[in-house]
Structure 1
């Protein structure tokens, strides 16, 4: 008797489900949702605004980049080691550290020592040169911090 009642309840539930899923084209049926467009990619301005709020300056113009690369090369030519674009990106990221820790020179130098490496200096250039790198970055790429 219990199994007969369970079977009847299952049949009722199945019938209700099938009725709810029917393809009724009448005016009482709920309107079908149309897929929405995928969100657009962030614009260059939004990306630049996000970087700026995170403490990353815009990419430098050619003259600023040249001055920055010369400053790094003056500290040690191996800092750049022929990879100017990489040195600029490391510098822009170092600006973020300067922005977030403006009074913590030790933190800034420590991050520069980890960030600025080369094949001949895989563990960085030491504390003295790291501090000089921070000055070069700050002076050339993000003086407003």
Structure 2
């Protein structure tokens, strides 16, 4: 069921993109028309789309603070001052957890996802395993 829902969302998004490619608006029209992105969706529509894709809701302030603190305790370069990016990466990692990928694959994905300017290839598998545990504990414990 999840795969079908995600497939339908992807198909709908592709249809929107292909439809948009069919015309070229004048420069002033392009600036006036908002694109259909997550930023322009209503909060309800955004939450619904995220839930359908297996991505949990944004954490509350206390949860986000604890999550960032846990990541910084592993290595301050994981977050590197970009809290929102770390939260976004964690929420995307939750989708991989929910999809039922095996632990070794999850650790590899975590290492790829949580890169930084000083660690463009990730922070290594031992740290990635700890990051994965923090993501699971703080952002998606029900998965």
- TM-score of the superposed pair, with normalisation by structure 1: 0.69
**Structure 1 segment 53-92 matched on structure 2, within 5 A:** 53-92=52-91
Higher percent of residues as helix: 2
Residue aligning to 1:105: 103
Does residue 133 of structure 2 align to residue 135 of structure 1?
yes
User: Contact conserved, 1:72 with 1:79, CA < 8 A, in 2?
Assistant: yes
Looking at structure 1, the residues matched to 59 and 128 of structure 2 have their Cα atoms a distance apart, in angstroms, of 21
CA displacement 1:35-87 (0-9 Å, x = unmatched): xxxxx975321221121121111111110000000110111110000110110
Looking at structure 1, the residues matched to 54 and 116 of structure 2 have their Cα atoms a distance apart, in angstroms, of 25
Residue aligning to 1:45: 44
CA displacement 1:111-145 (0-9 Å, x = unmatched): 10100001110000111111111100000000010
Q: Which runs of 5+ in 1 are unaligned?
A: 1-39
Does residue 114 of structure 2 align to residue 116 of structure 1?
yes
Is the radius of gyration larger for structure 1 or structure 2? 1
Structure 1's consecutive aligned runs of 4 or more residues displaced over 4 angstroms after TM superposition are none
User: Contact conserved, 1:101 with 1:108, CA < 8 A, in 2?
Assistant: no
User: Contact conserved, 1:90 with 1:116, CA < 8 A, in 2?
Assistant: yes
Aligned CA-pair RMSD:
1.5
CA displacement 1:86-123 (0-9 Å, x = unmatched): 10000011101111125x10111111010000111000
Question: What's the secondary structure of 1:108's corresponding residue?
Answer: helix
